[in-house]
Amino acid sequence: MTNYRIDCLQYANWSEKVFSQMREGGLDAVHVTIAYHETFRETVLNIEQWNRWFEQFPHLIFHGSTGADVKLARQSGRTAIFFGFQNPSPIEDDIGLVQVLYQLGARFMQLTYNNQSLLATGCYEDYDAGLTRMGRKVIDEMNRLGMVVDMSHSGEKSTLDAIEYSNRPIAITHANPHSWHPALRNKSKTVMKELAQTGGMLGFSIYPHHLKDGSNCTLECFCQMVAEAVEVMGINNIGIGTDLCQDQPDSVVEWMRVGRWTKSIDYGEGSASDAGFPPMPSWYQDSRDFSNIDNGLNLIGMSQEERSKIMGNNWLRFYDDSFGAMK
């Protein structure tokens, strides 16, 4: 059995250094955020930039579109890069852009980023009305094409609505159990159970605001959380989505939180006294530390087969099943 390694969410300040570290960490695939609040045209410009990186660093990275590309990455010693959006802003108010963006390589789209969108309700809103009429139509289109519905930043009702409505399994690419750390972004046991029962995937996040004890969270504590999640979801529906925001200036976290929707500063999961990116835990500084998670899971008693599923094989199965028209 091949043990694939997949990180199902990063948003780094992309560079040859970062791509080289992906290779040093043995990552076969990374799902990268290419839009937060960008319009369609701005997203296309980001794709243009990625095309330049693929041209500049073909020995390190290439554009992935199917599960087979993860296997090709392993065979060729490179990392397959899969595009995703943390907000539906790239489709603006035009459902036809879902197919256009799929054709340009997008494989994941969140229906919200913390706030209410045209499609669903974000986790920071006081009232969650669930999926909107447009949200249901967009899910239909995403299901038809093979673009994954991602509810990482969505409210409870919207997430449960999406799980129930979608005729293909959805993903929560980067979050942790709310019972372990009660961040607004973390997910309830109800969501976790429903997600698993429908074949969906949860990627565990290492972003400090999602961790018990924040930047001081220990590897053992994180791995014990993963083991407890197995008791809720089973071993086949969990993976890693580090939410690594490496080498980014604090101006980027402001863009992530504020976009263009407010004139005032919104600190999101931070605060006025701690407005920037929080430091990552000592055991996870960049992609070179990906094997630390495997080692930590080993130390708490997980088998090689269980660890291989969490470190990438579950995501690969999900990619095989999810990308492209239904077989």
DSSP string, 128-175: -----HHHHHHHHHHHHHT-EEE-TTB-HHHHHHHHHH-SS--EE-S-
Arithmetic mean of pLDDT, 43-48: 98
Q: Record the pTM.
A: 0.96
pLDDT digits (tens, 9 = 90+) for 146-202: 999 999 999 999 999 999 999 999 999 999 999 999 999 999 999 999 999 999 999
SS3 215: helix
Asked whether residue 218 is assigned to any structural domain, the reply reads: yes
Domain containing 279: what range? 6-322
Q: What is the pLDDT of residue 251?
A: 73
Contact 91, 147 (CB under 8 A): no
Q: How far apart are CA 311 and CA 79, in angstroms?
A: 15
Give residue-wise pLDDT tens across range 250-304: 777 776 777 787 887 776 676 666 656 789 999 999 999 999 999 999 999 999 9
Contacts from 299-307 at CB under 8 Å and sequence distance 24+?
A: 299/220, 299/223, 300/220, 300/223, 300/224, 300/227, 301/227, 302/223, 302/227, 304/3, 305/1, 306/230, 306/235
* Bigger pLDDT: 66 vs 257: 66
d(CA 216, CA 59): 36
Higher confidence at residue 320 or residue 267? 320
Q: How far apart are CA 277 and CA 272, in angstroms?
A: 12
CA contacts within 13 A on the Cβ side of 325: 2
Residue 327 lies in a domain: no
Is residue 141 assigned to a domain?
yes
Q: Looking up tokens 């979050």, which residue turns up?
A: 175
* Residue 1 buriedness (CB in 10 A; 0-12 / 13-18 / 19+): exposed
137, 155, 158, 228, 261 from 115: Cα distances, Å: 19, 9, 12, 30, 9
Nearest Cα residue to 214 out of 295, 128, 278: 278
Measured torsion, CA atoms of residues 282, 283, 285, 286, in degrees rounded to the nearest 10: 180
* CATH number for position 225: 3.20.20.140
Q: Is 70 exceeded by the pLDDT of residue 326?
A: yes
Report yes or no on 1 lying in a domain.
Answer: no
Query: Per the structure, how many domains does the chain have?
Result: 1
Of 284, 282, 272, 288, nearest in space to 243 by CA = 284
Domain presence at residue 277? yes
The answer to whether the beta carbons of residues 98 and 107 sit under 8 Å apart is no
Nearest-10 crossing angle of helices 314-322, 67-76: 130
Tokens (6 digits) for 121: 């309700």
Work out whether the CA dihedral 231, 232, 235, 238 comes out positive or negative: negative
Does an H or E element contain 80, and which? strand 79-85
- Residue 274 CA to residue 111 CA, distance in Å, equals 28
138: how many CB neighbours lie within 10 A of its CB? 25
Q: What would the mean pLDDT of 21-36 be, rounded to a whole number?
A: 97
Helical packing angle, 40-56 and 96-103, nearest 10°: 10
* pLDDT tier for residue 216 given thresholds of 50, 70 and 90: very high
Given a contact cutoff of 8 angstroms between Cβ atoms, the answer to whether 198 and 169 are in contact is yes
